[in-house]
Every structure is written in C-alpha cells, then in structure tokens.
Amino acid sequence: MSEATPKGLPWPLKALAVTLALVAVIAGAPAAFIYSGVYDIGADVPHTKPVFQLISAFRDRSIAVRANAITPPADLDSPTRIATGGRLYGALCAGCHLAPDMPRTDLSRGLYPKAPQLAYGNTLSPAQTFWIAKHGVKLTAMPAWGKTHTDAEIWDLVAFLRKMPQMDAAQYRAAVGRVPAQP
C-alpha cells in the first residue's frame, strides 16, 4: 500500500498564507479607499457621523494627554494678563471664534469643523486651552500660536478666555481696545 501524500500545503504554511492574505486585505482596503478619492474632504460637506466621532475622540484624547503635564500660572486672574490677553484675542482670534454679540464673519462661516464661539465659554481646562493655543489643531484651521508668541502671551490669552464669557459687548470692546470686525 502506498503512503498517501497530503494534498496542498501543511497547516503551518496554510496558517501563514491566511495570515498574509488577511494582512494584505487589512492594509489594502484603507489604501484602496484613500486612493479612490471617494470620501469628500471638502470643508463644505460635513464628515459622516462615525468619522466625526472618531476624529473628535482622537483630538480630545490627544489634547487631554498632552495638557496633563502643563501647570497653569497662579496669576491667571491678573488684570494685566486679562488685558494683554484681550488685545491678543481681538487681533488673533475674534475672526474665527467671534466675540460677545458679534455676528458670524465670512471666515467663521467657511470653517469646518466650526470654531467654537468662545464668548460663551468652553469646557476645557486652562492647561488644555493653553496647549491648543500654543500647538494648534491639525485639519481645523487652528494655528499654532506658539510659533509666533511666547508662553507668557499664550497664558495671557488663556486668562482672557476665562473672563470673556462674563463680558457683554461693551466690556469686550473695552478689553480688546477696538470694535470687533464686522462681516
């Protein structure tokens, strides 16, 4: 009686072949999706809900982790910091993040994701706000002000942002030293 030879590959090679095929599919599917250009990246078309949630979670966790090591200065309530921060906000931020009673600007209307209207406050810690202002956020039009401004100036901005939600339009104009730009 002749000894039968197994058909096909031995099981370790079959397992390797299946593993390599799965790796190729897992790596190839996203590459094919990206290369196809089927996903509309235009700022005038919102992300799908799953993509938006994924990006939001990714952004929020990244900021929280990096801001965790930042200690705010003790003088964030300093009138000098708040005054300096007000002038910085009026010059750098109001066009996107607006001001009390300020109508939306052409710039703020065209952003996606929309810039938060900081006149109404936010839920970020001072350290998170500092990190965002210093480093910016990719794919949001939020610039990295740390490339052009000192840490002290960014903390001044944070001090102002903490105070601004308590301001009315007249107090805001006095704080920034000029009338906000109109659309």
Q: What is the pLDDT of residue 10?
A: 81
| 25 vs 71: which has the higher pLDDT | 71
pLDDT beyond 50 at 179: no
In percent, the amount of the chain with pLDDT more than 90 equals 74
Q: What is the pLDDT of residues 37-95, one digit of tens each?
A: 998 989 899 999 999 999 999 999 999 999 999 999 999 999 999 999 999 999 999 99
Q: What's the CATH class of domain 70-176?
A: mainly alpha
Q: What is the pLDDT of residues 97-113, one digit of tens each?
A: 999 999 999 999 999 99
> Which residues are within 8 A (CB) of 55 and not within 5 positions of it... i.e. 6 or more apart?
47, 139
In percent, the amount of the chain with pLDDT more than 70 equals 93
**168, 98, 83, 133 alpha-carbon torsion, rounded to 10°:** 140
Between CA 108 and CA 113 the distance in angstroms is 10
pLDDT confidence tier of residue 4, bands split at 50, 70 and 90: low
Domain boundaries, the chain: 70-176
Q: Is the dihedral of CA 102, 88, 175, 127 positive or negative?
A: positive
pLDDT beyond 90 at 138: yes
CB 168 within 8 A of CB 100: yes
Of 32-46, 63-77, 130-144, 153-167, the one with minimum mean pLDDT is 32-46
Between CA 67 and CA 44 the distance in angstroms is 31
| Token pair 């006095």: residue | 174
Q: What is the mean pLDDT of the chain?
A: 90
Q: What is the pLDDT of residue 3?
A: 56
Between CA 22 and CA 165 the distance in angstroms is 53
* pLDDT mean over 169-176: 92
Question: What's the whole-model pTM score?
Answer: 0.81
